Amino acid sequence: MSSYAPPTTLSPSRIDSFLSCPLAFRFSSLDGLFDPPTEATVRGTMVHRALEHFYADTAAQLDAERMNDSVDQMLTEFRHDDDVLFLELEGDRFTRLGDECRKLAMNALQMEDPSTVNPIGLELRIEAEFDGVTLRGIIDRLERDNDDHLVITDYKTGRAPGPSFEKKALAGVHFYALLCQREFAEDATELRLMYVKSTQTITTRPSSKTISFTEQRLTAVHRAISQACESGEFATRKSALCKFCKFSSWCPEFGGDPQLALIDAPRRNSTSSE
């Protein structure tokens, strides 16, 4: 087994990837195998961009007309985007994808009164040092509430989790709360997940206990990743998510050989994109 240099940066998506399946993490984060975009991932990126345009000027009239304009602006940008082109959408599929994005973006207006939102950062890139590793994240919306407290909002375009999975879904925003504390020396008072498909909002309040739990979790995940990198052993974690895994051809759970991925994957990807 070859060993790997442990990653020097961690983000919520990398942590989630490792916890979901260490072998899939190795393929995407360490071997650099191509993880092709899907309509769902592209739709999510497009909706985030439309909402970013919408809140970019809070002095404007934040109404349905402005949201329509924001979606139009986003569609102009994405028409020739690499990920959109990769999807090779046929016929009027791009138009229908745009319609889906418009509906999701409009749903956000039912979930909050935009005139009360006071963003201080949109798609805000933030990083902080932690235990020898750089933590990185992109906060969809960082804002100040009426009491001047920090609120972190994360937009979601997928399905909202059931009650027993809410804690897991909130791990990413707790990560951002830790980043804010380290970067701005200020605690966020509210963390929000906005599920624009079902118009559900999940809210929680971070505390010294949740910050401490997030730090312990990060230390444990970082240690587990480092150990896997040193030994070269990345376990499989078979689950319902395997049916969406782009690397299943090289997964031993499905009769594949992980070592062949480094040889086969580039050839397979270049063939599939021709």
The amino acid at residue 106 is M
Q: Confirm or reject binding of residue 73 to ligand SF4 (CB under 6 A).
A: no
- Residue closer to ligand SF4 by CB (options 185, 240) is 240
User: Which own/partner contact pairs does 165-174 have at CB distance under 8 Å and 24+ positions apart?
Assistant: 166/202, 169/193, 169/202, 170/202, 170/204, 171/12, 171/15, 171/16, 171/214, 171/217, 172/12, 172/16, 172/137, 173/204, 174/206, 174/210, 174/211, 174/213, 174/214
Q: Which two tokens stand for residue 259?
A: 């070592």
Task: List the interface residues with ligand SF4, window 160-179 (CB under 6 A).
Answer: none
Q: Which positions from 188 through 217 interact with ligand SF4, judged by CB under 6 A?
A: none
- Residues 222-251 touching ligand SF4, rule: CB under 6 A, are 236-238, 241-242, 245, 247-248, 251
Cβ at position 37, least distance to ligand SF4 in Å: 17
Task: Pick between residue 241 and residue 260 the one whose CB is nearest to ligand SF4.
Answer: 241
Q: How far apart are CA 185 and CA 101, in angstroms?
A: 36
Interface residue with ligand SF4 among 253, 260, 263, 272 (CB under 6 A) is 253
- Kindly state the tokens that stand for 14: 């990398």
Is residue 116 within 8 A of residue 147, CB to CB? The reply is no
Q: Where are the beta strands (DSSP E) in the chain?
A: 9-10, 119-130, 133-144, 150-156, 188-195, 200-204
In one-letter notation, the amino acid at residue 148 is D
Please, are residues 164 and 57 in contact by the beta-carbon 8 Å criterion?
Answer: no
Using CB under 6 A as the binding rule, whether residue 23 contacts ligand SF4 is answered as yes
Largest CA distance in the chain: 59
Q: How far is the CB of 236 from ligand SF4 (least distance, A)?
A: 4
* Residue among 119 and 258 whose Cβ is closer to ligand SF4: 258
CB of 87 to ligand SF4, least distance (A): 21
210 vs 248, which CB is nearer to ligand SF4?
Answer: 248
Q: How far is the CB of 28 from ligand SF4 (least distance, A)?
A: 10
CB of 230 to ligand SF4, least distance (A): 20
Task: Indicate whether 24 belongs to the interface with ligand SF4 (CB under 6 A).
Answer: yes
- C-alpha distance from residue 33 to each of 1, 25, 46, 260 (Å): 18, 10, 24, 12
- Which of 10, 15, 21, 261 is in the footprint of ligand SF4 by CB under 6 A? 21
Q: Which is nearer to ligand SF4, 200 or 249 (CB)?
A: 249
Closer CB to ligand SF4, residue 31 or residue 83?
31
Q: Which residues bind ligand SF4 (CB under 6 A)?
A: 21, 23-24, 236-238, 241-242, 245, 247-248, 251, 253-254
